[in-house]
Chain A
Amino acid sequence: MRNLCSKRSAHASLIALATITAFIPTAAPAGATTRDSSLVEPKAAKAQLVLWQSSSDGAPAYVSSFEKAYPNIKVKVVNSATATDDAAMVSAAAAHRLPDITRSADVDTYYFASHGIFLNLSPYMKAYGYKQSQFIKGIMQLGQYNGDQYVIPRGFDEAVVAYNPNVLAMFHQPIPKEGWTWAQFSKEACAINGKKVGGKTYYGVGTNLGYTSYILYDPFMVSTGGGPMNASETKATFDSPASLKGLTELANFSRSCTSWMDNLPKNADPFDSGTAAFDIVVPDQVLTWPNSKGTAWQTVNFKVNIVNFPLLSPHPADGAGMIGFAATIDAKDPSAAAAFEMWMLSKQGEAAAAKAEGWVPLRLDLTKSDDWGAKYAFTQKTYHYTFNAPAFDSYTQYIVTPPAKLELGSNGTAATAIANAWTAVQLKKETVKQAFTAATNAINSWLATQGG
């Protein structure tokens, strides 16, 4: 009897276990602990998701991994020009023609999140048991609005410095090493800038990365204790003494140690023609430039090396950009769309995406440099540069990002005001203080009309 009971119990347990297992996704995302089943389980027994990506994205490569993990959900990947065009996205949203999931960049987070086009993924993250502390904070912030997550970053780029060993050797400057300081970088760049050899002018840094890019100027403000907005995010603070100190440091460096004053916008970067020792770039550019015909580094005839952007002092800071995926309000089955988003955060998802595209994973518990380095192996060999991926990974702790509310990466009022301020400084029409005070006033007037 006891045996029978135990056999029955065992059978019942097995049946119960099998029944429960049947309702659980075959591969549960790593990190999932407690779950709100209403958010976790896709509503439809079978779901078909439509995902818009840019033609240069490689979603199909890792979407198949997702479909293996979630056999009931199929993802149709569509190359869509709309996904990278804000106006077209707004039109699609107005017509309720958005896909379930769309690619999105850091610059778009605020507008689409604040206008209710993207789904708030924070409840799903909680239901799936994810915590923000599991990921790189600065990059996750690029997909946040009002403290909630709307875009799940798929990959990101930090600023790095490319250098031309030939130019450094010509001016007897040492080859930079990982861990170099901003003071060392400035000293080397300034020592070369403006020197003439054989009728050619050589520059310390070729200005390729635009000064209007927050990836460059935001870390400078943060390093001196300032920042683009006050703590309550009600007012712009580009004109605060601390912010102005950082901006002035960047302006002074740019005037004395770069080609900024000689090469106004839309000009060729002297680094590409071999007449600048350094260039500040984001690795995405390193990856994509050689692959598109006619762009900068396809034609260089010297060995390019890459080293980390020297951390700024006294507060170390680094800038970065992000591309990710958002679930939209037009998603037919939001929980299915969210399942894809959450899978992107899982160990399997991050590893698959990193392998497919060479992106650095967001998870702090994943070894980043392996996939990253493997992806770069091809371009490193073909286009003569070396890249220290592990060192790059270690910098993620210093990434700073401006508040999404300012939309500094877009073409709105704040971005235009900052671009105008830099132009005024570059053309010596205004001092840094005058230019950024005017920009701050313009931004604050605009913020007042936005109810903020």
Chain B
Amino acid sequence: MASAVLLRRDQRVPRRHRLSRQERRRLREGYLFISPVLLGLVIWVFGPMFLSLYYSFTSYNVLQAPKFIGLANYRELFNDPEFVHSFKITLIYAATSVPGSLVIGLLIALLLNKPGRTMRFYRTIFYIPSVIPVVAGTELWGTMLSGSKYGVVNYILMSAGLIKSPMLFFSSPNTAFWSLLILVFWGSAGASMIIWLAALQSVPKDLIEASQVDGAGVLRRFASVIVPLITPTIFFNLVLGMIGALQTFATNFVLGGDSGSPLGSLDFVNIFIYRQAFGNFEMGYASAAAWVMFAVILVLTLLVFRTSRRWVFYVGGGR
């Protein structure tokens, strides 16, 4: 019986193909051509990654040799109120900014999903924020939403008599987070709109027409025909948006510096990591925080991938 099983397994294994001299040469050439990328990946991506994994188990201030301390950095992290706070607000940010950006981008795409020159003009207008450098865009919104009466928005609102005293926006811990969301929606809607537009235009017209013939209204058509057909795009935007949101750094750094001010309201995990690494020069501690965040992003991404089998539909019936 055992030999029969072995025989069957042997039969399943394809015979090893012996490469000709020319094939071997071409294989070598192929490896040679991709070697710069492989080397780059090993030296500049995997190398630092695994080095930081090692540092996360050490006390390392750059100037002295790393000292192995086991899991102490990780233990300290979970007891560090600063990290817990950063972690919490980063998750809240991801949970609000990602769906918000997706919905706003989709709404704009739905409005602009029509032929005509005017639509092309508006698409360009809505896409412009995406090509403005993050720092420039953030500085612009920092001035617009300045918490003094000299801020552009406050000045307009006060001049119009709509408010008596200036709104604090980025100057108050109560409003800085929500002001950041305005900035993020403005900056990200254009990029997601382009992807949504591509998805909407790939929805077969005959399906839309068939649903119209069947008497489906606008909402019904959107919910039962369009949404299922654009689920691969929702999936794509969701995964990329979530990873991007959990790695937010530049906007918060420009607005609140490395302390995530005011009062730590913009102190996301990457700002925390930066502060530990380049403010306190605690590279081991910063590396541990980075690996915790990596693990969280990985788990959440896998979770989305796992659930996608239930809600993402590919043309041709695949899931």
B148 touches A263 (CB 8 A): yes
| A452 close to chain B: CB less than 8 A | no
Query: What's the Cα separation between A429 and B175 when bound, in Å?
Result: 14
Query: What's the Cα separation between A87 and B63 when bound, in Å?
Result: 11
Residues of chain A within 8 A (CB-CB) of B263 are 420, 423-424, 427, 429
Choice from B147, B149, B261, B280 contacting A420 with Cβ under 8 Å: B261
With CB as the reference atom, state the residue of chain B lying closest to A85: B278
| B279 close to chain A: CB less than 8 A | yes
| B299 close to chain A: CB less than 8 A | no
B278 touches A266 (CB 8 A): no
With CB as the reference atom, state the residue of chain B lying closest to A416: B259
With CB as the reference atom, state the residue of chain A lying closest to B267: A416
Residues 73-109 of chain A: 1 if any B CB is under 8 Å from the residue's CB, otherwise 0? 0000000000000110011011000000000000000
B275 touches A267 (CB 8 A): no
Report how many residues on chain A are interfacial, defined by Cβ distance under 8 Å. Answer: 28
| B173 close to chain A: CB less than 8 A | yes
Choice from A87, A264, A423 contacting B278 with Cβ under 8 Å: A87
| A268 close to chain B: CB less than 8 A | yes
Given known A264-B171, A410-B279, A411-B275, contact A116–B147 (CB-CB < 8 A): no
Residues of chain B within 8 A (CB-CB) of A267 are 146-148, 150-151
Query: What's the Cα separation between A214 and B257 when bound, in Å?
Result: 18
Query: What's the Cα separation between A432 and B263 when bound, in Å?
Result: 15
B149 touches A262 (CB 8 A): yes
B262 touches A427 (CB 8 A): yes
With CB as the reference atom, state the residue of chain B lying closest to A449: B76
With CB as the reference atom, state the residue of chain B lying closest to A427: B172
Query: What's the Cα separation between A94 and B279 when bound, in Å?
Result: 16
Residues 154-175 of chain B: 1 if any A CB is under 8 Å from the residue's CB, otherwise 0? 0000000000001010111100
| B179 close to chain A: CB less than 8 A | no
A420 touches B148 (CB 8 A): no
Query: What's the Cα separation between A118 and B171 when bound, in Å?
Result: 38
A264 touches B280 (CB 8 A): no
Query: What's the Cα separation between A250 and B279 when bound, in Å?
Result: 28
Interface centre among B63, B142, B275 (most CB of A within 10 A): B63
A419 touches B147 (CB 8 A): no
| A241 close to chain B: CB less than 8 A | no
With CB as the reference atom, state the residue of chain B lying closest to A267: B148
| A115 close to chain B: CB less than 8 A | yes
Choice from A115, A264, A420 contacting B63 with Cβ under 8 Å: A115
Please classify the interface of chain B as helix (H, G, I), strand (E, B), loop, or mixed, using the class held by over half of its residues. Answer: loop
| B313 close to chain A: CB less than 8 A | no
B63 touches A90 (CB 8 A): yes
A420 touches B257 (CB 8 A): no
A94 touches B63 (CB 8 A): yes
| B62 close to chain A: CB less than 8 A | yes
Q: Shortest Cβ distance from A82 into chain B, in angstroms? A: 14
Residues 302-335 of chain A: 1 if any B CB is under 8 Å from the residue's CB, otherwise 0? 0000000000000000000000000000000000
| B61 close to chain A: CB less than 8 A | yes
Residues of chain B within 8 A (CB-CB) of A419 are 259, 261
| B281 close to chain A: CB less than 8 A | yes
Interface residues of A in 47-89 (CB under 8 A from B): 86-87
Interface residues of A in 88-140 (CB under 8 A from B): 90-91, 93-94, 111, 115-117
Q: Shortest Cβ distance from A165 into chain B, in angstroms? A: 24
Interface residues of A in 410-452 (CB under 8 A from B): 410-413, 416, 419-420, 423-424, 427, 429
| B187 close to chain A: CB less than 8 A | no
Residues of chain A within 8 A (CB-CB) of B146 are 264, 266-267
Given known A87-B278, A116-B63, A412-B279, contact A423–B150 (CB-CB < 8 A): no
A90 touches B147 (CB 8 A): no
Q: Shortest Cβ distance from A346 into chain B, in angstroms? A: 32
| B264 close to chain A: CB less than 8 A | yes
Residues of chain A within 8 A (CB-CB) of B258 are 411
| A390 close to chain B: CB less than 8 A | no
Query: What's the Cα separation between A93 and B170 when bound, in Å?
Result: 37
B62 touches A91 (CB 8 A): yes
Query: What's the Cα separation between A413 and B272 when bound, in Å?
Result: 11
B168 touches A420 (CB 8 A): no
| A265 close to chain B: CB less than 8 A | yes
3 A-B pairs with least C-beta separation: A264-B171, A267-B148, A416-B259
Q: List 12 A-B contacts (CB under 8 A).
A: A115-B61, A115-B63, A263-B148, A264-B146, A264-B172, A266-B146, A266-B147, A266-B171, A267-B148, A412-B280, A416-B275, A420-B264
